[in-house]
Structure 1
């Protein structure tokens, strides 16, 4: 019985660690993967470097962003930080 109670505290610690750290990270990762998969030409996006642009072309692993009138830059799709929605801009 004493051995069982000695294992209870480390098991409780692992459960708390999973709930507070691992599970939220996995949720954010799945959310990011879904966001990258749902990209469409014409979406306004922000990269992890803070660059704002509009998607002009997509391939399996890259996206071309229109930054100014005649500047198009190519980025990895995984460098996406977020998609800028019009309703978020007005708020």
Structure 2
């Protein structure tokens, strides 16, 4: 009986808890490496460019003369300046591979 309970906990750890903690660490590293000019997508789906970074917030330029402050935790993904063309070409190659 106890063996089954321990086995279930171990399985749950490797299938649920460990991947989530790994994702949290990766997200924290992305947010910590933010710099001015990086392109971001918020958890609400807003796309913009980092304009200013403070301790807990990031001011994002959404369009001309439109600046919105976001909590750092509200950033879903980051594209570094200079990496956008490489990322776009790799996404196009992946899409082409899926269609074949």
Instruction: Work out whether the TM-score is over 0.5.
Output: yes
Match of 1:81 among 63, 76, 79: 76
Q: What residue in structure 2 maps to residue 32 of structure 1? A: 27
Counterpart residue number, 2:16: 21
Select the structure of larger CA radius of gyration. 1
Q: Which residue is 1:3 aligned to?
A: none
2:53 to 55, 58, 67: 58
Deviation at 1:89, TM superposition (A): 2.4
Separation in 1, partners of 2:19, 2:68 = 32
Please state whether the residue corresponding to 2:5 is helix, strand or coil.
Answer: helix
* Cα deviation code 1:56-84 (max 9, x no counterpart): 10000011111111111111111000013
Separation in structure 2 between the aligned mates of residue 43 and residue 89 of structure 1, nearest angstrom: 15
Q: 1:11 aligns with which of 6, 19, 23?
A: 6
Number of aligned pairs?
A: 86
**2:63 aligned residue (64, 68, 71):** 68
Normalising by the residue count of structure 2, what TM-score does the alignment of the two structures yield?
Answer: 0.81
SS at match of 1:41: coil
Query: C-alpha root-mean-square deviation of aligned residues, in Å?
Result: 1.0
Give structure 1 stretches of 5+ with no counterpart.
Answer: 1-5
Cα deviation 1:5-62 (Å, max 9, x = unaligned): x321111111001000100011011111111111000000000000000001000001
